[in-house]
């Protein structure tokens, strides 16, 4: 049974049209050689997901510096989108620390797509045992998406002293066996600092709102997977469990955001 925490997350939750394909690709990577090498390959392939979620859950806390009045509130449901930059669309097999058991099949072809890269087939790798006998050759997966969305559900309420608090929360929602489940929790504060210096006359003295804010968001993701050993494969350790049920990929993303906001309301 494999449990991979924090280092893996499936791109299958992102675009419904790529769910099954992405899940199959993850299984291919997890079967690509020894566990340590398989994890490195999966991490490199999924790196755009990590960056995308990191950027996505940090965005969208505020759209103005003006704070709400006491007990004033709003509820927002939205999703931000992060486009995958060119630099994150491929990776070099020779630069991710693979062991000597996993080598490029063609030493001149070491660049292969990430999940956000080219739709063409990836590079091939050859798997060797400890006696340098070639066991198999694996074709690495192609890319399947170009945008990383991150959902956001946020409640904001006004407090005293020109301060407001925000809560981001979404209970664990299961999007299906090919998609997995996601949950979100987050907290944020925003304070209008201009009011501290100019008091109630701030709007007349300076026609702007100036605020500082900070927020923390945690996103958890869970996807059941089925990674079966190849036919005829024998465990290296006879004591190793042969129960391959309850396999899953789990990931936790933490994001912290701090900013200074300047805004002005324009009336038409």
Reported residue count of the chain is 268
Three-class DSSP category at 228: coil
Q: What is the mean pLDDT of residues 10-14?
A: 34
Q: How do residues 123-174 score in pLDDT, each as one tens digit? A: 999 999 889 999 888 899 888 777 776 667 899 999 998 999 999 888 887 7
DSSP states of 114-140? -TTS-SS---EEEEE-TTS-EEEEEEP
Express each pLDDT in 92-116 by its tens digit.
Answer: 999 999 999 999 999 999 999 998 8
Per DSSP, the three-state class of 169 is strand
- Selection from 20, 98, 17, 38 nearest residue 8 by Cα: 38
pTM (2 d.p.): 0.65
pLDDT tens sequence across 47-65 = 887 777 667 677 778 888 8
CA distance 55 to 73: 25
Cβ distance 91 to 47 under 8 Å?
yes
- Dump pLDDT digits (tens) for 160-194: 989 999 998 888 877 555 456 778 899 999 999 88
């Amino acid at each position: 049974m494999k449990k991979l925490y924090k280092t893996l997350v499936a791109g299958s939750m992102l675009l419904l049209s790529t769910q099954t394909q992405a899940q199959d690709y993850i299984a291919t990577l997890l079967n690509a050689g020894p566990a340590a090498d398989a994890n490195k390959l999966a991490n490199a392939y999924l790196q755009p997901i990590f960056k995308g979620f990191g950027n996505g859950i940090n965005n969208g806390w505020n759209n103005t510096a003006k704070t709400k009045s006491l007990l004033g509130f709003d509820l927002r449901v939205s999703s931000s989108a992060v486009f995958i930059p060119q630099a994150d669309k491929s990776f070099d097999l020779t630069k991710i620390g693979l062991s000597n058991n996993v080598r490029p099949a063609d030493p001149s072809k070491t660049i292969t797509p990430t999940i956000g890269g080219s739709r063409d087939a990836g590079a091939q790798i050859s798997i060797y045992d400890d006696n340098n006998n070639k066991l198999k050759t694996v074709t690495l997966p192609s890319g399947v998406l170009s945008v990383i969305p991150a959902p956001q559900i946020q409640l904001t309420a006004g407090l005293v002293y020109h301060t407001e608090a925000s809560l981001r929360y979404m209970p664990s929602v299961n999007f299906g066996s090919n998609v997995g489940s996601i949950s979100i929790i987050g907290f944020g504060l925003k304070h209008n600092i201009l009011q501290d210096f100019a008091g109630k006359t701030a709007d007349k003295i300076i026609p702007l709102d100036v605020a500082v804010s900070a927020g923390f968001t945690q996103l958890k993701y869970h996807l059941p997977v089925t990674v079966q050993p190849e036919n005829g494969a024998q465990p290296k350790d006879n004591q190793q469990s042969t129960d391959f049920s309850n396999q899953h990929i789990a990931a936790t993303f933490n994001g912290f955001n701090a900013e200074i906001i300047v805004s002005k309301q324009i009336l038409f």
